[in-house]
Amino acid sequence: MIHTVANLDRGEKGIIEELSFDEIPLALMEMGCIPGKEVTLIQLSPMKDPLYIHVNGSHFAIRKETAERIVLAKRLCDEL
C-alpha cells in the first residue's frame, strides 16, 4: 500500500518521499512541502476535505485530491 498524506490519521506524521510536480500547486512546494520534510495531519474537516496540515513551520489546508498525490516514505505515530 502506498502511504500518502491523505492516509494519515489526526496527529500522525510522515516524511514526504515524492510528489507529482505536475499535479501539486507550486505555492505548496514554495511553502516547504518537498521531499524529505516532515508533515503532520492537524485536523480533518467534517466532510474529510480539506485536510489541515503542518509542514516546514506552516499550517495550511489542502484538498484531499492534492493530499493523495503526496507520497510518504514513512509514517511516524505521535499524538498532538
In this structure, what CATH number is given to the domain that contains residue 63? Answer: 2.30.30.90
Report how many domains make up the chain.
1
Mean pLDDT in the chain? 86
Peptide bond before 46: cis, by omega within 30 degrees of 0? no
What is residue 46's predicted lDDT score, i.e. its pLDDT? 87
pLDDT at 79: 43
E strand or H helix at 27, and its extent? helix 26-30
Domain of residue 62: give its range: 5-76
- Taking CA atoms, 64 is separated from 49, 70, in Å, by 5, 10
Question: What is the pLDDT, as a whole number, of residue 59?
Answer: 93
